Structure 1
Amino acid sequence: MSSRIPSPHVFALAGTVVLWASAFPAIRVGIDGLGVAALSFLRIVIAALALTLVAPLAKVRLPRRRDLPMIALCGVTGVTAYQALLNWGEVRVAAGTASLLIAVAPVFSVLLGSLFLGERLSRTIVVGSAVALAGAALVSLAGGAGGFTVSALIVLAAAVVQGVYHFATKPLLRRYTGLEVAAYAMAAGAVFALPLLPATWHAALHAPAGALASAVYLGLLPSALGFVIWAYAVARLPLAASTAALYLVPPVALLVSFVWLGEVPHPVELLGGAVSVAGVVLINRRKRSRSPLGPSAENVSDATAGQAATRPAPAR
């Protein structure tokens, strides 16, 4: 009996997880040589240019004028603010710890959806949100590499703005594909990142080659290629499989950070990360059973792509 070879979209999904997980240690490498502002700007602009070049091949449509304000909100939160806050936080927070804190972003998108989109806040969602936030608190209070510092709160702020991005993409995903929304947001984020250009110019002139290579890697692979292969995978796989794969990003990030940077997570951080992921699983189980976008498989896949696009990742 011959073994079955995994399909290309399964490989694409696995590749997305690895790329988005690798973004966290790559940020640590880039920050050391470029600083927060320059790394944020270079990653965003490189990703925006790459997605712009891919757009004609992927048949990305131009957005409607009436959708530009929401696209701007996606860009300023899920791209510009997210990258700047995550990079700033990772100055002192270990890469693996940052991935555990970012995992709670869906909590904030769900809460915003209940406040502004009239989505029902069920008991399961409330319990899942409380569990996820409790896990994030454990990670922040751990005495390991992260510790309870202002930097840990900054990473949590990055999770909040990513949650805003998830919330803001929902109305857009009724009219555009996940890849289109990601491309629009990245382009908008590049515009909002322009004030970082002077600092980037100065830092790039004196940056070591390794830091510049890290910025190029982050822009081309986790941000640009990650979006493309994620959109390809979720359009061909069941929603449950696509969502479940995202739970693998923090543990893979911990593994990559250990191999690449030699980071060893504190046991309490691991416990808190597991608790956070368990809370997000509870939330997503409820969301899968009652999707606000209707029964269309294409819409469901696109919604997942848009919600995961700034995880690392919008935006990863």
Structure 2
Amino acid sequence: MPIRHRLLAATVAVIWGANFLAIHASLEVFPPLLCAALRFALLAIPTIVLVPRPQVPTRWLLGYGAGFGVLQFAFLYLAMDSGMPTGLASLVLQSSAPFTVVLGAALLGEHLTLRAGSGVLVAAAGMAVVGSQRMDGAAGILPFVLTLLAGLGWAFGNLSSRLAAAPRPLHLTMWMTVVPPVPLLALSLATEGPARIGEALTASLSSEALLAWGGLAYTTIVATVVGSGIWTWLMSRHPAGSVAPFSLLVPVTGIGLAWLVLAEVPQPLELLGGALVIGGVLLASSRSRRRVPVEPEPVPVPVAGTR
């Protein structure tokens, strides 16, 4: 990859890491499920009008939207609203990578190599270390479990996206946003209730809610359209193994920004667990390079009458 493309990949990781701060700001005004519904509704409307529908089977489009959109963000927003630290959420969500490896082997019959299996075990050990620091009753463990479920939802979305095999991946990414708004809004009405939704929408009209709207705008425009657009462009031009490792900078950025902006200081064991998670994800997603034997050059055979 040229240096400018590496810088673009690192920029996307920073954008996605900062997205967790934007979510935190949005949740200061909007209840979690309503916030997730608004996030996708703001993208779904212009997508239907402006973006051609991807030429993929409907079931995989729905599966991508349900896994990546509904499950991931419903659980993630609920986790952060119930006390999951912003920086730690960006780390635990990386569980999607080992979940994807395991589900690919279990559901799609993909071959699980020794390297990938070892990476999954290392990442799982890291998650266990992080989880052990959240064992201060249900109030501590519940946000952690919800974030793990968000990673599992992302993994199901990954499988559907892979099976869709979209000729234009960015169109699939944009049309995925059409799926979540209605189920998320229905869940919001059922669990958060019309009264809480009405109070949040009323509060959103005040000047104090500008930061929350800014967070929503960042999440929809910068993180999704700009970040995903650049990432898709890079993935279409370089091997996945060259681009994907840059996503490991997301939790580094998320934890660092949360430390600086929100004064969320991670515990030493959480940092150790995070290092194990990142190392496991890197190991699971890397491929061993097989040495190709070099055939000896043929020795020219003298032809009669020549030297």
TM-score, normalization: structure 2? 0.82
Q: 1:21 aligned to 2:36? A: no
Pick the aligned partner of 2:28 from 27, 32, 37: 32
**Shift in Å at residue 273 of structure 1?**
0.8
Q: Deviations over 1:23-68 (max 9, x none)?
A: 112211211211212211111112334555663xxxx55434xx11
Q: Deviations over 1:141-181 (max 9, x none)?
A: 225999941111001110111111111211112x4332122
Report the counterpart of residue 40 of structure 2 in structure 1: 44
In the alignment, is the contact (CA less than 8 A) between 2:72 and 2:151 conserved in 1?
yes
Report the counterpart of residue 72 of structure 2 in structure 1: 82
Report the counterpart of residue 251 of structure 1 in structure 2: 252
Report the counterpart of residue 214 of structure 2 in structure 1: 213
Equivalent position amino acid for 2:120 in 1 = S
Equivalent position amino acid for 1:15 in 2 = T
In the alignment, is the contact (CA less than 8 A) between 2:14 and 2:250 conserved in 1?
yes
Gaps of 5+ in 2: 291-307
RMSD of aligned alpha carbons:
2.6
In the alignment, is the contact (CA less than 8 A) between 2:38 and 2:181 conserved in 1?
no
Distance 1:269 1:50, change over 3 A: farther
- Report matched runs for 1:1-316 at 5 Å: 6-7=3-4, 9-49=5-45, 51-52=47-48, 55=51, 60-64=52-56, 67-91=57-81, 92-142=83-133, 148-173=140-165, 175-195=166-186, 196=188, 200=197, 202-207=199-204, 208-286=209-287
**Shift in Å at residue 110 of structure 1?**
1.2
Q: Deviations over 1:273-303 (max 9, x none)?
A: 11011111111113x869xxxxxxxxxxxxx
Q: Deviations over 1:172-224 (max 9, x none)?
A: 12x43321221222222234334247565542221322212212221111122
Give, in whole Å, the separation in 2 of the partners of 1:289 and 1:243.
17
Equivalent position amino acid for 1:78 in 2 = F
In the alignment, is the contact (CA less than 8 A) between 2:76 and 2:150 conserved in 1?
yes
List structure 1 segments (4+ residues) > 4 angstroms apart after TM superposition. Answer: 50-54, 143-148, 197-202
Gaps of 5+ in 1: 291-316
TM-score, normalization: structure 1? 0.80
Distance 1:191 1:285, change over 3 A: same
Q: Deviations over 1:67-108 (max 9, x none)?
A: 111211111111012111101101201111111101111111
Structure 1 SS opposite 2:286:
helix
Give, in whole Å, the separation in 2 of the partners of 1:265 and 1:211.
25
Q: Percent identity?
A: 25
Give, in whole Å, the separation in 1 of the partners of 2:84 and 2:236.
35
Distance 1:176 1:228, change over 3 A: same
Structure 1 SS opposite 2:27:
helix
Give, in whole Å, the separation in 1 of the partners of 2:237 and 2:54.
24
**Shift in Å at residue 118 of structure 1?**
1.2
In the alignment, is the contact (CA less than 8 A) between 2:22 and 2:219 conserved in 1?
yes
